[in-house]
Structure 1
Amino acid sequence: MHAFGDTDPTRVDESRICSARRSPEHPAIIEHRKVTLEQAEELLSSFRRMAPHFPFVQVPGDATVPSLSRTSPFLLLAILTTASIRDPPLYHQMDFEFKRILSTKVIVEGRKSLDSVQGILVYVAWYPLHANPKNNQAFMYINLATSLTSDLGLDLELPNLNSFGNISTQGLIEGASFTDAAKRAYLGCYYLSSALSLGFQKPPGLRYRNLMDGHGQSLLQDESSAEISSLIKLQRLAERIAEVHRSSEPKGDLQMEALNAEVNIQMFQHEVQEWRKSIATSVRNLPFIGMAERYLGCAIYSHELGFLRRPYRDHLRSMTSNPPVNPAHLESCLQAAKTFCEYLLSLPETSYLDFTAIQWSMVVHAILVLSRLTFVMAANLGWDSDTTRSNVPLVMYLDALCYRFQHLSLTPSDTAETPQNPDVLYVFGMILRSCKKSYERRVAKIAPGFLIVDDANVIDMAARGHCPMLDPALNPLFDISDSTYGGSYELSESATPSTSSTAAFLPQYHDVWAVMTGSWAEEF
């Protein structure tokens, strides 16, 4: 494994993007800073490395910051925000600017354009949900994007040219048809909406339609169409798997339930096999496609076994009196989860830097499934703690991931004190360490007959999970004060307080938007 940036000259020079440090004796304020055109070009170059993981928004190869400032300024702002994620102070500043422009241009002024949709999609695709799920605004943004696609008419086969009175058609239509960029954006909106809804078990904001197949077919001449088609097909299959089990009700007939379970598994596995036959090997070998394929193999069994049901404890209680109808499915689920984790660890560690929120959610779900599977298998097979450790290598997987995150993170980890401005990889590594600590403590309690439920609904503590979001040791990582960032919520010297306006009390950042649409655009 190579250190970050050792072998890839296209990556941004990290020495130029350094996180500010604070000593506990003299807490420093991290000043907001201006983003130069040169720095913006570096961030754009960094985003080009990330972009293949979300092929629904494509930046032309010859595009520059000045050219994008003129044609797609909001998309450019989202790109700069997303690409600055490894530099927490800059990301905080850009994130605020993105939200400010989004609220002003889209919500207040009601502007509707493909540029707005693409910008929101990029922002949501790399939203750092895995590092702070308590602060989850991704649904709000993707629902806004879904609403905009409807306003733009992207849910129709052809554009209604009479309905574009207050809508920008730049990049949206070509002749009497939607552009390829518009079709990709519509498919991307479905992909994100569906994946996020499944992950948090919420109703989807955009349902699958045959029109999406038509859009996929019309993009076949595009070099990235195979990746888009693959992601859409796999996501649709994941959606159907969840729908089947969401709508199923216990029948009371164990033989019939076993038959239904086997039919469902065989049906979905057959569809995955058909998908494999229809996809070129070069596409299947792409990391984000490989992850989606292997995660789907895990999802087929984990949904059937109820590991993703909510509330899970209610399902666990039912499993103690009614064990899985086919115990072989437990072993199959374990092998599928191992396959996913081992594929994840086989990827170059620098590829983790490009993961989208959807790929990180797959990692989280795989860890969750392995954890829950551990205690159900131990109870059903009469394992003790040592046998459990040897059969379910979750601790090894967590150790390997934590080591890689520590290696990739720009936040120092060799101090006893909690860093004031940790990056996303550092935070996620700490979350996994909390999971590992809880998991090891619970595995140590495993003994034959440990999983017991009494009439008072009390489950043995070895089987009860621990959410790292409830770990008080992690609170400092999630509760970083905005005053840390250059007095970002303080008045600048040029701001004049006014009781009649709340605008004076908003953060006074360097106006990146004004520079983008002004001097940068003039460079083009």
Structure 2
Amino acid sequence: MEEDPNDIYDSLREAHEQYIDDLLPKDSADSCPYAGSLLHSTSSAATPSSSNSTRPISSFTGQPQFNIESATQLLEAFRKMQPYFPLISLPEDADVASLAKDRPFELLAILASATGSKSLQGHSLYDEEFRKILALKFVAGGERTLDLLLGLLIYCAWYPFHLRPRSKQLTQYLRMATDIVHDLELDQQPEEDQFVQPTIDEERSRGLRAYLGCFYLVSGRANMWSKQTSMPFTPWTAACCEMLENAALLPSDRAFTWMIRFQHMNEGVMGLRKLEKDASQDEYQIKLLVKGMESQIREWTGKISREVSSTVTLTLCRLFTETFLYGAPLLKFPTPRSASGVVEVIDVQRLVQAVSPLQQFLDRCVSLPLSEFGNFCSLDWGRLICSIILCFRLSFPLEKCPQWNATAFRQRVNFEYYLSRLCQDDEGSAGHQSLTPTTARTADVRSASQVILEVVRRKFQKRMELLMAAPPSAQPISSANLDRTMKGCPVLDGSLDQYFQVWDETFVDPSMVMPAASDEKSANPPTGQPAVFHDLWATMTMSWADDGSDNMDMNFGSQ
């Protein structure tokens, strides 16, 4: 009889507990960090009558083959990624063994996130295991811990949302992270606390970073999609920024707090857009609000130390905030209308002010080594995408701003130059040329993003050819007269559907998850051997923490 889907996680937990009990001595529970919540959780579900009634959890996806050498390489890759979202402390002497012992779920999130810098199909190993363990801990075990929250935020920070447009996984995981923040009451000021403490310990700083990091990701994603955020900026959020900045237990803490503040400024700009759309404020009042935000940005910029302000992450964050302040009217989709139904007319002077920070943002991006784009977190990609959209639109006449001088803009900002630079590979040639839907299976985040940018470049070139061919006296070309090869987002218009099917996390390359021929015996347990659910990651990290063993045999069904 087929197992009731509603009971699968209860059965999984019960079998998992029994497996851990059999695997470890009673006094060794602490050596398996995942055993904690799962061993001591309670359930009303009945215990399976026989171990033969369950099936190995690895049968859902194949059996990952982990080894400490690949994990070490991914950990080193993550060190280069970390400055773009400095959420956790990662000392120089921290290695796979020490993290496996003290922070195993954070380690798993690190490895799952870093695989994208190698291959989008790296999820077949660590990404798949991350989701499996998350289900065990969050769903089956009901765990709500800081370790779980930090690991979840790391994973969400580097989730390639722009390569998986149909996936709702990131939204679901951010909701989970928000729930954990609420459950741990990290978003609430403790009654015994003063509003700002002069000193905080390492454990308290981890909680502050987790709360602020969750705000940063949730708020940033809401901004991208013009949605209401589920985690508002409060006086307590501001106080947490101040506490973390004053303590600065990590060199990156000061940069992190300013990233939070600039993201809050972006929220303010979105609020301003709502006032413009609803026509609840007149033009003069809107200009006053914009001036106030300009002054705030200048004041903040003057406060930030040169050492902190020169970091790539904070530079891009600050320049985008300034660009967004002026260019937001062109980044609101669909085209905003006033309360009376009249299409909004955009202030040309405001767009003129967007040009300088936009150009500085793009200049900073193309000055980076191409390998650096593989380290971008999801919000960095979001900023780059918004800047490209804005630059594309400003390069042509605007129906909603007849005074806009697109020719002068193109003379100052050569958009095709920036696109060409972003599409290049390490050797200086077009990085998209050798990437096809077949070879895309081995693409990393950077090369896959180059494919999207190349489609944008082709759209821009076709628009320019059409514009140059039109007589000088002709009216501006209406977007209604353009086909999809010259307008629209390539992610949404079907131009890249052939790639998305192999970039999406639901695609699994069997060659990356199935054991090699030499492992055929271990992949197929002898008939009659009991099959049990088991936490592969917990077992692996126990061995890494104990003796640093290189390769792990993950098949316990044959033992």
Tell me the TM-score range normalised by the shorter chain. 0.7 to 0.9
- Counterpart for residue 449 of structure 1: 475
Residues 327 and 201 of structure 1, relative CA distance in 2, 3 Å threshold: closer
**3-state secondary structure, aligned to 1:202:** coil
Q: What do residues 294-319 of structure 1 show as CA deviations (whole Å, max 9, x unaligned)?
A: 0011101112xx2121213869xx89
Match of 1:9 in 2: none
2:110 equivalent to 1:45? no
2:350 is aligned with 1:332 = no
After superposition, the C-alpha distances for 1:492-517 in whole angstroms (9 at most, x for unaligned) are 953799xxxxx99x9x9x9344211x
Instruction: Give the aligned residue type for 1:236.
Output: H
Conserved? CA contact 2:330–2:390, under 8 Å: yes
* SS of the residue 2:402 aligns to: helix
User: Following the alignment from structure 2 to structure 1, what is the Cα–Cα distance between the partners of residues 106 and 408?
Assistant: 52
Structure 1 residues 307-386: aligned runs within 5 Å: 307-312=330-335, 323-324=345-346, 326-377=347-398, 380-381=402-403
Paired residue secondary structure (2:496): helix
1:66–1:487 distance in 2 versus 1, CA, 3 Å:
closer
Query: What is residue 179 of structure 2 aligned with on the other side?
Result: 147
Q: CA shift at 1:154, angstroms?
A: 1.1
Match of 2:112 in 1: 81
Structure 2 residue aligned with 1:184: 209
SS at match of 1:445: helix
Distance 2:491 2:279 in 1: 36
Normalising by structure 2, what TM-score? 0.73
Deviation at 1:467, TM superposition (A): 1.6
SS of equivalent to 1:375 = coil
Counterpart for residue 134 of structure 2:
102
Q: Post-superposition shift, 1:75?
A: 0.6
Q: CA deviation at 1:236?
A: 0.9
1:108-145 per-residue CA deviation (whole Å, 9 max, x = no partner) reads 21011111000011001111112232324212111111
Cα deviation, 1:123-171, whole Å, max 9, x if unaligned, reads 01111112232324212111111111111121222389xxxxxxxxxxx
Amino acid of the structure 2 residue aligned with 1:81: A
1:455 counterpart residue number: none
* Range with greater deviation from structure 2 (268-277 or 440-449): 440-449
2:233 maps to what in 1? 208
- Which of 214, 225, 229 is residue 253 of structure 2 equivalent to? 225
Contact 1:37–1:65 (CA<8 Å) still a contact in 2?
Answer: yes
Provide closer, same or farther for how the CA distance between residues 412 and 388 of structure 1 changes in structure 2, counting only shifts above 3 A.
closer
Match of 2:488 in 1: 466
| 2:91 equivalent in structure 1 | 60
**Relative CO higher for 1 or 2, CA cutoff 8 Å, sep ≥ 6?**
2
The aligned length equals 459
Identity across the alignment (%): 23
Q: 1:322 to 1:350 in 2, by over 3 A?
A: closer
Q: Distance in 2 between matches of 1:310 and 1:276?
A: 30
Mapped partners of 1:68, 1:278: distance in 2: 36
Give 1:420 shift: 4.5
Matched residue SS, 2:475 = coil
Deviates more, 1:412-421 or 1:488-497: 488-497
Tell whether the 8 Å contact from 1:82 to 1:122 is kept in structure 2 after alignment: yes
What is residue 539 of structure 2 aligned with on the other side? 514
What is the correspondence of 1:25-44 to structure 2 with a 5 Å cutoff? 34-44=65-75
Q: Call closer, same or farther: CA 1:357–1:63 in 2, change over 3 Å.
A: same
Find the structure with the greater CA-based Rg: 2
- Aligned amino acid, residue 329 of structure 1: R
User: TM-score, normalization: structure 1?
Assistant: 0.78
Shift in Å at residue 291 of structure 1?
Answer: 0.1
Gaps of 5+ in 2: 1-60, 193-198, 549-559
Q: Aligned partners of 1:215, 1:369: CA distance in 2, in Å? A: 33
Match of 1:264 in 2: 289
Distance 1:347 1:71, change over 3 A: same
Identify if the C-alpha distance between structure 1 residues 493 and 225 changes in structure 2 by more than 3 Å, giving closer, same or farther.
closer
Distance in 1 (CA, whole Å) between partners of 2:237 and 2:262 is 13
Query: CA offsets, 1:70-129, max 9 Å, x none?
Result: 221111100111112113443332111100111111112101111100001100111111
Map 1:216-295 to 2 at 5 A. 216-219=241-244, 220-222=246-248, 223-249=251-277, 251=279, 257-295=282-320
366-375 or 140-149, which deviates more:
366-375
The aligned amino acid for 1:39 is: S
1:419 matched to 2:449? The reply is no
Q: For the Cα contact (< 8 Å) 1:482–1:489, is it kept in 2? A: no
Structure 2 distance, partners of 1:244, 1:83, is: 37
Secondary structure of 1:208's counterpart equals coil
- Alpha carbons 1:194, 1:239 under 8 Å: kept: yes
Q: 1:47 Cα shift?
A: 1.2
Shift of the 331–405 alpha-carbon distance from structure 1 to 2, 3 Å rule, reads farther
**C-alpha distance in 2 between matches for 1:482 and 1:323:** 45
Aligned partner of 2:453: which letter? L
**How far apart, CA to CA, are the structure 2 residues paired with 1:249 and 1:278?**
33
Q: What is the aligned partner in structure 1 of residue 53 from structure 2?
A: none
Q: Aligned equivalents of 1:218 and 1:175: distance in 2?
A: 8
Question: How far is the alpha carbon of 1:274 from its aligned partner?
Answer: 0.4
Give per-residue Cα distances to partners, 1:40-64, cap 9 Å, x unaligned: 2222122122112111222233322
Distance 1:43 1:339, change over 3 A: same
Which residue of the partner structure matches residue 524 of structure 2? Answer: 494
The secondary structure found in structure 1 opposite 2:110 is helix
CA distance in 2, matches of 1:263, 1:445: 39
Question: Are residues 31 and 399 of structure 1, via their aligned partners in 2, closer, same or farther at CA, if it must alter by over 3 Å?
Answer: farther
Give the structure 2 partner of residue 117 of structure 1.
149
Aligned-residue offset at 1:441: 1.6
Structure 2: which amino acid aligns with 1:494?
A: N
Tell me what 2:163 maps to.
Answer: 131
Distance 2:188 2:538 in 1: 32
Give deviations 1:178-224, integer Å, cap 9, x for gaps: 62111111111111110111111222121111112222222222233
Conserved? CA contact 2:101–2:545, under 8 Å: yes
Letter in 1 for 2:524: S
Q: 1:261 to 1:444 in 2, by over 3 A?
A: farther
Q: Give the one of 440, 454, 476 matched to 2:498.
A: 476
The Cα of 1:31 is off from its aligned counterpart by 9.2
> Aligned equivalents of 2:135 and 2:62: distance in 1?
24
One-letter amino acid of the structure 2 residue matched with residue 287 of structure 1: V
State the Cα RMSD in Å: 3.7
Distance 1:459 1:472 in 2: 18
SS of the counterpart of 1:479? helix
Q: Give structure 1 stretches of 5+ with no counterpart.
A: 1-29, 161-173, 453-457, 498-502
